[in-house]
Amino acid sequence: MQKLMSVISLIAIFVMNALAGPAHAEKPIVIKFSHVADENTPKGQMALKFKELVAQRLTGKVVVELFSNSQLYDDNTVLEAMLLGDVQMAAPSVSKFGAYSKEIQVFDLPFLFDNRQALERFQTSPNGRQLLHSLNEKGLIGLGYLNDDLKILSATKRLKVPADAAGLRFRIQPSQVLAAQFNVLHATSLKKPFSQISTLLQDNAVDGQENTWTNIFSKNIFLEQPYITVSNHGVVSFLVVTSTAFWQNLSDPIRQEIQQALHEAIAFGNNLTEQYSSYARQKITASHRTEIITLSDIERLQWKNTMKSVWQEFEGEIGRKLIEAAYQSNQPNNFARNPETNGI
């Protein structure tokens, strides 16, 4: 009888355990990915592609939660939140990293890159890839570059020559280099989040701003600014970043799968940039809501000569060799590009 009861008890325990499932079933790793862009932009599409690839390849192991349009954090607060473990991934503009790496300020220097191709050549070079690790001492690690396009100016008055910007107030990202850029124009700069641009313009808190065609279109900036100057004076690039604590705590197989998915998602986003930029420019032009000013070669040279003085001002912080290496990327035939992946 005792043996029968023991058998019944064992069967009961087995059935209960089977119904309850594993006592120590691992919960999936959650990656909260915060960014400030609309989902219909290259950055938004990159994030969606990353989520899709992770869901396909790491089902039950990793879950990506997306927070676009500054729903969770804006770019001015997300890095601190990341260091606290409240968010695991973000894609702030490289302009947001000046407090974490002096060298990374190279991307903010005006008229350093002639086009997106030059920017990408530098980013995939040994110097560009090394910058991904320049944040490590601050607890962050760069995972890859996502690029928008060249920056243009918009304002409440026509900007043809540098002197036209004197006395105007421009919204900028929180970057000492960008502040210096407008200082040499005898203009005032106001460091405010991207999410506040429309409000700043509507309240006449600023007279102008710098951004890409895509961002000017997606945030309807062209509806608030009567003039756009195609200055192409700088670049907008984003750095997909995570904390070293989170990254190093992942197992090697999981980390490799996440890195590969992100690499493919970034490539997908970068491929969309030219298409989106062209579309945004066409829509803005067709709206007839703003006058688009194209600079002559002589006028562009005036802007370049005026702004390039910023290079010397930050040479000590960034490093002359790094600036020279970035500038050489404009000459593809003389530039040694690293063919490896755009990431760590």
Domain architecture of the chain: domains with CATH: 18-330 (3.40.190.170)
The region, left, alpha or beta by phi > 0 then psi within -120 to 50, assigned to residue 139 is: left
Share of the chain above pLDDT 90, in %: 84
- Residues facing 190 on adjacent strands: 171
Share of the chain above pLDDT 70, in %: 90
Tens digits of residue pLDDT in 2-19: 444 444 444 444 444 544
The helix/strand/coil state of 97 is: helix
Confidence of residue 216 (pLDDT cuts 50, 70, 90): very high
Q: Looking at the predicted structure, is the pLDDT value of residue 294 above 50?
A: yes
Query: Residue 117 — φ and ψ, nearest 5°?
Result: -65, -40
Report, as an integer, the average pLDDT of 63-74.
94
pLDDT at 13 (0 to 100)? 43
Tens digits of residue pLDDT in 126-176: 999 999 999 999 999 999 999 999 999 999 999 999 999 999 999 999 999
Q: What is the DSSP string of 264-288?
A: HHHHHHHHHHHHHHHHHHHHHHHHT
